[in-house]
Amino acid sequence: MNTNENSQIAAIEILENKRRATLLVFIYYFSSWQLGWIMTKYFSTAMNTYVYYFFGVLLILGTLGSLWHLNNLFKVSKLLKKHPELNPMINDERSCSLKNKSMAYGFTASIATSALFLAISTVADAFIYTETTLISANLVAHTTLVVTVLASVIAYAILEQQE
């Protein structure tokens, strides 16, 4: 192997390690941000002040962490622009296959989440009469989106680790 090939292999390993690390950090911060957001937005009246503050802090820390993650993505993007020859190696057939499989898991999670909310809504409507909706459409859409994103990213991390 010549020096150029060794340099490319080292750069690929650095990129894959950064991608894996930022993926795991993204899962943590994104779920913290979204959980804090959902709890403070939709359930604030049902919790005591300290629990509300806890989720508020979780929302702030998750938001800051997500911004940090976005910054890391820009760094990786700059590295790929600096080494365009690495793009085909990073986005190889294996990587594309993992992305497709993880998207399928995300789609399945989206359908399952929608079905779960539909079932809860149907049971609630059958046994609990109210003049207002028990589950807001905004909550359903927000939760479904979060579950879909997290399922896709977690599936990618698991599939990548297995291969």
Can you say whether the dihedral through the CA atoms of 66, 67, 73, 76 is positive or negative? negative
Instruction: Tell me: do 100 and 58 sit in the same domain.
Output: no
DSSP state of 139: H
Instruction: Tell me: do 96 and 82 sit in the same domain.
Output: no
Tokens encoding 80 = 């790929």
Instruction: Tell me: do 63 and 130 sit in the same domain.
Output: no
User: What is the CB neighbour count within 10 angstroms for residue 153?
Assistant: 19
Q: Which of 124, 105, 117, 107 is nearest to 142 (CA)?
A: 117
Identify the three-state secondary structure at position 73: helix
In the chain, the amino acid numbered 84 is P
pLDDT at res. 60: 97
**Model confidence over 121-130: pLDDT tens digits?**
888 877 876 7
Distance from C-alpha of 137 to C-alpha of 158, rounded to nearest angstrom: 31
Instruction: Tell me: do 120 and 79 sit in the same domain.
Output: no
pLDDT at res. 1: 57
Instruction: Tell me: do 98 and 124 sit in the same domain.
Output: yes
Instruction: Tell me: do 80 and 143 sit in the same domain.
Output: no
Instruction: Tell me: do 85 and 105 sit in the same domain.
Output: no
Last residue of a domain, one of 90, 122, 148: 90
Q: What are phi and psi of 12, to 5 degrees?
A: -65, -45
Instruction: Tell me: do 36 and 109 sit in the same domain.
Output: no
pLDDT at res. 57: 97
Q: What are phi and psi of 44, to 5 degrees?
A: -60, -35
Range of the domain at 110: 92-163
* Under 8 Å between Cβ of 62 and 55: no
pLDDT at res. 133: 67
Last residue of a domain, one of 60, 90, 120: 90
Q: Tell me the whole-structure pTM to 2 decimals.
A: 0.80
**Model confidence over 140-163: pLDDT tens digits?**
999 999 999 999 999 999 998 887
Identify the three-state secondary structure at position 1: coil
Kindly provide the b/e burial profile for residues 55-66, where b requires at least 16 CB atoms within 10 angstroms of the residue's own CB. Answer: beebbeebbebb
Q: How many domains does the chain have?
A: 2
pLDDT at res. 77: 83
Last residue of a domain, one of 90, 107, 135: 90
Q: Which residues of the chain fall short of a pLDDT of 50?
A: none
Instruction: Tell me: do 82 and 101 sit in the same domain.
Output: no
